[in-house]
Structure 1
Amino acid sequence: MLELAADLLPLVERGVPVAAVTVTRVVRSAPRGVGATLAVTGDARVIGSISGGCVEGDAVMLGLDALRSGAVRRGSFGFTGPDDAIVAAGLACGGAVEVVAYPIDGTDPRVRAALMNAAAGRDTTLDLTLDDGPALTLHRPGRPRLIVLGAGEHAAALCRVGAAAGFAVTVCDVWALLVTRERFPEASELVVAPPHEYLASLETPDDRTAVCVLTHDERLDVPALRAALRLPVGFVGAMGSRATVARRAALLTQAGVTDAELGRLHSPLGLDLGAHTPEETALSVIAEIVAARTGAGARPLRSTLGPLHTDAAVGCATPTPVAAR
């Protein structure tokens, strides 16, 4: 439910009746993992997804039943045999899911506060007591953060793609003429300051924070990288040609950056997608950030074996782990 907070909060505040259908268990493979949620209003407006399409209709009907009855409803899709045996039915991927459908109590101050926090990108946990069984614990980690240093065309594209991928994007540059809302409408924060000074002012950087240096100016990117590599962030990258990367590494060493710190630097920045345009380059950068966070090999799925969907992968793509307890 918390993954849909930005859409649900306005409905709850207007008193619109709405129910949620949340995946509580996955067997084998499924398009969405545990915690995936679909919400439905009384007039059958659907928000979100639990399966990518193959059982959405049944899930909507279950949610409408919960909404109209005011009671918790449980269901399963894909289980067609005894003892959780799965036959090729229900889910196109061959897996199975269990779900719980429940009306959202918009008058509960805990629910409203949780939706507000999740919509604002803050780390949020909500325990729901269901009247027919164990409690449901909903958790949404704080929104991942992307700090883009430099405000050129590649930065504008990275801001667009990063925001679309769920990052809260900060853009920082020394030039006020470049750091404008018109150029970066998707940014959560715009900062006019020397990049290294801005990094020094950060209060709570963590491993969900990525820093990308796109200044193309050694006078700015060397001190910025030195500062970034000493922060407890999850990813530090810098754009540049092979020659630029080599020269910048030498300058960073001269500036006191250790080999261990330099080993954290992703440069040249991005995965090898054959990118040419700023948008294609931005896609390759976001792909590398996600791959670095998950520890994935960033190979084509057809060249890998094993399940396509894991809880860890779901958590990184749309961070909404849920557990029944």
Structure 2
Amino acid sequence: MFELATRLAGWHSAGTPFALATVTAVRGSAPRDPGAALAVHPDGTVLGNVSGGCVEAAVYELARRCLDTGEPVTETFGYAEADAFAVGLSCGGELDVLVRRVNPGDAALGSVLADDDPVALCTVTAGPAELIGTTIAVRAATGPDDSRTAVSCAPGAVGSTGSAGLDAAIVADAAALLAAGRGGVLRYGPAGECDGDGVAVLVQCRVIPPRLLVFGAIDLAAQLCRLGRDLGYRVTVCDARSTFLTPHRFPDADELVVDWPHRYLAGTDTDERTVICVLTHDAKFDVPLLVAALRGPAGYVGALGSRRTDAQRRRSLVAAGLRPDELTRLRAPIGLDLGARGTAETALAIAAEIVAVRTGHGARPLSTLCGPIHGSAARPPNRSRQIA
């Protein structure tokens, strides 16, 4: 839902009610994850999608009806093999969709749309009729300096289910999910009992985006910036040469930094979600930068260069004191073997490797694997079983 927030904020601030359809659960090879959303304005304008096109028309009709009645509705969509023309998912999966009307006075959703701070949006998706569609927005606690910090004390919350016990349970558990940076489905009894399962609550978390640090103001960096932003990263390009580091050359970067790469990295925040791409392939920049990067917490560190360049660079890194276990973290030459030529294809190969490392998948052709396409890593097919 958060990818629609900017447009939905305009609708909400204008006092316009709209219908919001949200994927609440998926089974099998469904094309979108829980939290995917489609919104419908009273004038018929549509934002987002819940299935990549398979069931959008049916969800749109549900949304129009919900706008008229104000009553939330839950529908399950799947593939009906007996009727090839039935509304369903051609991928063979199944998904549940909750459609509800968002009114101008919806404080919880309004709070979420008001800014882009970290927040957990909690929506009751199953349970007693009076609870379905109710929402609570849970924000991170603020530290003494009024900056956003990890949730360590009572977080701020807006909205209510109408049950004090259920509200308290949702806020506490959603705060923990927000602190961990992930969403999920919570289950309770109708009054918030932890051993009940009659009430289901979808928690969608908006967290500070991970960082993509690109070192080297070259054409490839510009292509990588574009892909990085599409993948949800906050992109910084750093280079010591101000002549090449201009907004005109890097329109998709969130930040441009003129500094020596290793000095900038030493003074900036990184974590296990951080991606570092070293594209300078110049030893005076690469070696001190990579020593710092490989000793830090970044989840991905890659460096551009030929195999000859990489071999010499690794010798220099060892000479600079890097241990073998630290050096094994370096992904160089950077990118997957796609047969890439030119900057656009090379950027794609790098982005593909970043995704594969983040998800832990093997980056093999889906046609050689079996099992679910989305979610957990697919496994190699059992050839003897297939042949039999």
**What is the TM-score of this pair, normalised by structure 2?**
0.73
Closer, same or farther in 2 for the Cα pair 1:105/1:251, shift >3 Å? farther
Q: Report % sequence identity.
A: 47
Q: Mark the CA change 1:153 to 1:64 in structure 2 (over 3 Å): closer, same or farther.
A: same
Post-superposition offset of 1:302: 0.7
- The whole-number CA distance in structure 2 between the counterparts of 1:242 and 1:194 is 25
Equivalent residue, structure 2, for 1:104: 102
Given candidates 91, 94, 107, the residue that maps to 1:93 is 91
Check 1:65–1:270 CA distance in 2 against 1; reply closer, same or farther (3 A cut).
same
For the residues of structure 1 that align with 2:289 and 2:333, how far apart are their CA atoms?
16
Distance in 1, Cα, partners of 2:333 & 2:240: 23
Determine the structure 2 residue equivalent to 1:32.
32
Q: Does 1:167 align with 2:233?
A: yes
Gap change, CA 1:17 and 1:123, over 3 Å in 2:
same
Aligned to 2:52: 52
Report deviation, 1:78: 1.9
1:43 maps onto 2:43 in alignment? yes
1:108 deviates by 4.1
Residue 359 of structure 2 corresponds to 294
What is the alpha-carbon distance in structure 2 between the residues aligned to residue 139 and residue 71 of structure 1? 25
The CA distance in 2 between the partners of 1:307 and 1:74, in whole Å, is: 25
Cα gap change, 1:184 to 1:62, in 2 (>3 Å):
same
Residue matched to 1:202? 268
> Is this contact kept in 1: 2:79–2:90, CA < 8 A?
no
Cα separation, partners in 2 of 1:251 and 1:191, compared to 1, 3 Å: same
Given the alignment, which residue of 125, 130, 153 partners 2:120?
125
Cα RMSD for the two superposed structures: 2.3
The answer to whether the 8 A contact 1:148-1:171 is kept is yes
Assess, with a 3 A threshold, how the Cα gap between structure 1 residues 87 and 196 changes in structure 2: closer, same or farther: farther
Q: Do the aligned partners of 2:235 and 2:253 also contact (CA within 8 Å) in 1?
A: yes
- State the distance in 2 between where 1:233 and 1:14 align: 42
Report Cα offsets for 1:44-86 as digits up to 9, x if no partner.
Answer: 21111111111001111112222232232211112769xxxx9
For residues 157-236 of structure 1, the aligned pairs below 5 Å read: 157-203=223-269, 205-236=270-301
Structure 1 regions of 5+ residues with no counterpart?
314-325
Matches within 5 A, 1:231-242: 231-242=296-307
Q: Pick from 347, 351, 363: which aligns with 1:282?
A: 347
For the residue of structure 2 that corresponds to 1:19, the secondary structure is strand
Q: Alpha carbons of 1:230 and 1:126: their partners in 2 closer, same or farther (altered >3 Å)?
A: same
Give distance in 1, aligned partners of 2:304 and 2:221.
10
Higher relative contact order (CA 8 A, sep 6+): 1
Inter-partner Cα distance in structure 2 for 1:129 and 1:194: 50
CA distance in 2, matches of 1:312, 1:11: 39
Number of the residue aligned with 2:144: none
Bigger mean CA offset, 41-50 vs 13-22 = 13-22
Say which is worse superposed, 135-144 or 218-227, in terms of deviation. 135-144
Residue aligned with 1:103, SS: strand
CA displacement at 1:129 relative to structure 2: 5.0
The answer to whether the 8 Å contact 1:34/1:311 transfers is no
Equivalent-residue separation in structure 2 for 1:232 and 1:113 (angstroms): 33
Q: Sort the Cα spacing of 1:106 and 1:220 in 2 relative to 1 into closer, same or farther, 3 A.
A: farther
Question: Residue 19 of structure 2 contacts residue 41 of structure 2 at CA under 8 Å; is this kept in 1?
Answer: yes
State the 1:115 CA deviation. Answer: 2.9
